[in-house]
A and B are shown apart, each in its own frame.
Chain A
Amino acid sequence: MVLLVLLIVPLAASLALAFIGDRKFAPEVNILGSAATFAASIRLALQVYEQGPILAGDNFFFVDAFSVYLTVLTAFVSMTTSIFSRRYMRREREHGTIGSRRIRFYHAMFQLFIFAMLLCLLTNNVGILWISMELATLSTVLLVSLYRTPAAIEAAWKYFILCGVGIALALFGTVLLYFAAEKVLGAGGAALHWTNLAKVSNQLEPTILSLAFVFLMVGYGTKVGLVPIHNWLPDAHSEGPTPISAVLSGLLLNIALYALVRCKVLVDGATGTNHSGHIMMGFGIISIIVASFSLLRQKDIKRLFAYSSIEHMGIATFAFGLGGPVATFGALLHMLVHSLTKSSIFFTVGHASQMHRTQEMAKIKGLIRGNPLVGWGLALGVMAIVGMPPFGVFTSEFLILTATIKDAPWFAPFLLLGLGVSFAALFRRAQPMVSGERPPYQHRLKVAHLPVILHMLVVLVLGLYIPKFLAEWFQTAVGLLK
């Protein structure tokens, strides 16, 4: 029941906002919808915590430890983003960047995007997983081009074409998966149910599944933002409205990685080797290296953090590929803390760029003097994202690094190099932005305090101690993904 509520609320909110999205109270409706979704996700999490995995709706929905924490995360970040977007979008409207039709469109699509991501996480059907992934892409394409500047349209077109092609390849992989499954499970929708597939994965034809994985890897990998198919990501992040950058980085990339990992479990079951893991490790490590060196060359603040997202998704992909209890635990935790930290950074970046009316880093100065929350939020966010203790990213990266040194020592220097370079690059950029005197062209703005404070608090707590329920979920998920 709660599953249906979780899906219907964002869908209904999307429909309602398609009509009233330009009213004065629309941002509040948006917040209310997301808050209701979040409440439903908590309810679902409690149910899963008490009863274990849930299969519902004629096996159509499936929630286990792996998907439930991502569901709560998705609902939580979309709630805080809607709070942040209230003031942010209102200001964009006052500046005349967007009109009433586009703000309506923005609100409706935001909720549709949340719906698509939740459907990804809750569905048991690998085909539906693909469809909702595509829906999530489509609903954000026109949001990236919301400002209709030449650069924004170019970014959105790139996003549309690259992700369209990528996801088409993932569909081919899904067709191959179904082809193999049909021989064992018989034709029909049940042959695409993940729970059924996982049960018989050792009987699936290994040659087909290894071929399928290549397509799935490239397809979903495009959406994760892995190098060399990452080109859409920095553009889409830098040209879209900041709330969208926050949810793209914080949520969509995670969901794509989730889809990939779900498929990996099936492929590993069939082949009995960690061949797919090696492919993921390769993509992961290349992403880390390329992204960290690209960080050095950035001038646009949102592009900078977009590259940092590529780096961190690379770390998580690498860790999932490495496998083993410690690395997988680290990867699960990394998805969580990266998502929280990165969306918080984007909130502060959004405020900072509105204060200076530019995204150019050279012109952003004196943030702490100008607005302590934005300045300290960005400073602490950067400290967290580069992996400084006591924040959660340190814990997850430490776990992953330990596992790497133990299981794949040859990769450790590359991983350390990536982490070191990105540390230097981000620090060098952030320091002049937050410190110093306020420049005369800096505006004073009212900002949304709650989202940044909440996110950073959770990240801090996760760095100091991991609550029992979360640890149990992660342990269960680790067992599941073995």
Chain B
Amino acid sequence: MNMQLASQVNSLLAALILLTAFGLVVQRRMNALLHLFAWQGFFLAVSTAIVGYVGGVRDLYISSVLTLSMKVILLPYILHKLIVKLRIHKEVETVVNIPTTMLMGIVLVIFSYHLTAPIRELSTLVTRSTLAVALATVMLGFLMMITRKHAVTQIIGFLAMENGLLFAATSATYGMPLVVELGVALDLLIAAFIFGMFFFHISTTFDSLDVDQMARLKEED
């Protein structure tokens, strides 16, 4: 694969990742959200493998396999199980309506391009143009966590942020050192265990996973 082609394929994948990130922000059905999330992980894994191949960085293959097994298979599977078990089908209303959220998302993407502009000029890697997309994915995950009031969607937003971070690591630097990547994966695994426990605690204590009910702890006057 020559550089030109690799760079183009990578840009395409970046676009797909950004597209799925937007999809996550606006999608309200739980199952569709999970599918989108799995696709995003898949695009990320493919992109990581391609960057690894082009750059000749073996470690990235490991990172790609890790992403594939965690983000595409394991986490969506766990979330799916939980959704079935806790009988969640449709999402509760979003805080801000969807067109407005979309517009906010677009502003975030432009902001990300603006923020990473000085860095793009410094980087010499074939992947450099995708750093802005990576930051935008992080921001969109953030936006999703703010605008959704459901525990499961907040977690998916969190995981999408993590996807964006991994994408940033591959696109800016050909991946972080392996020991760091492994550590991040381990932390993610523990986090998955914790939010799984949380869903049960929240749904048994509050009868639903709507985080809006959690408003006890406020400053009283």
Contact = CB atoms under 8 A, between A and B. Distances in A.
Interface string A208-247: 1001000000000000000000000011001100000000
B145 A165 contact: yes
A200 interface: no
Interface of B: 57, 115, 118-119, 122-123, 135, 138, 142, 145, 151, 154, 158, 161-162, 165, 168-169, 172-174, 176-180, 183-184, 186-187, 190-191, 194-195, 197-198, 201-202, 205-206, 211, 214-217, 219-221
B180 A150 contact: no
Given A153-B201, A208-B122, A172 B168 contact: yes
B177 A191 contact: yes
Contacts of B190: 135, 138
Contacts of A158: 214, 217
8 contacts: A127-B180, A131-B186, A153-B205, A172-B165, A175-B165, A175-B173, A189-B179, A297-B221
Nearest to A298: B219
Contacts of B165: 168, 171-172, 175
Given A157-B211, A165-B158, A208-B122, A131 B216 contact: no
A178 B122 contact: no
B187 A138 contact: yes
Interface residues of A, number: 52
A2 B201 CA distance: 41
Contact of B187 (A135, A191, A207): A135
Interface of A: 125, 127-128, 130-131, 134-135, 138, 141-142, 145, 148-151, 153-158, 160-161, 164-165, 168-169, 171-172, 174-176, 178-179, 182-183, 187-189, 191-192, 205, 207-208, 211, 234-235, 238-239, 294, 297, 299
B162 A168 contact: yes
A179 B83 CA distance: 39
Contact of B194 (A130, A160, A238): A160
Contacts of B194: 138, 141-142, 160
Contacts, number: 132
Contact of A179 (B173, B177, B206, B215): B173
Nearest to A206: B118
B191 A138 contact: yes
A112 to B, nearest CB: 10
The 8 closest A-B pairs by CB, nearest first: A127-B180, A131-B183, A154-B214, A189-B177, A179-B172, A207-B118, A134-B187, A235-B217
A408 B118 CA distance: 32
A179 B119 CA distance: 9
A211 B115 contact: yes
B216 A154 contact: yes
A127 B176 contact: yes
Contact of A154 (B138, B142, B186, B217): B217
Contacts of B161: 165, 168
Nearest to B165: A171
Contacts of A191: 177
Contacts of A235: 217
Contacts of B184: 131, 171
Given A157-B198, A178-B176, A183-B122, 17 more contacts: A127-B179, A128-B179, A131-B180, A138-B194, A154-B215, A158-B217, A161-B145, A165-B145, A165-B158, A172-B165, A175-B172, A176-B119, A179-B173, A192-B177, A207-B119, A234-B217, A297-B220
Nearest to B168: A175
Nearest to B187: A134
A145 B201 contact: yes
Contacts of A183: 122
Contacts of B123: 179
Nearest to A236: B217
A176 B177 CA distance: 13
A260 B3 CA distance: 39
A459 B172 CA distance: 47
A157 B202 contact: yes
Nearest to A212: B119
Contacts of B198: 145, 153, 156-157, 160
Contacts of A208: 118-119, 122
A97 B201 CA distance: 16
A358 to B, nearest CB: 15
A135 B188 CA distance: 10
B187 A128 contact: no
Nearest to B180: A127
A138 B184 CA distance: 12
A151 B217 contact: yes
B219 A148 contact: no
Contacts of B214: 150, 153-154, 157-158
A296 to B, nearest CB: 11
B180 A148 contact: no
B217 A157 contact: no
A239 B214 CA distance: 14
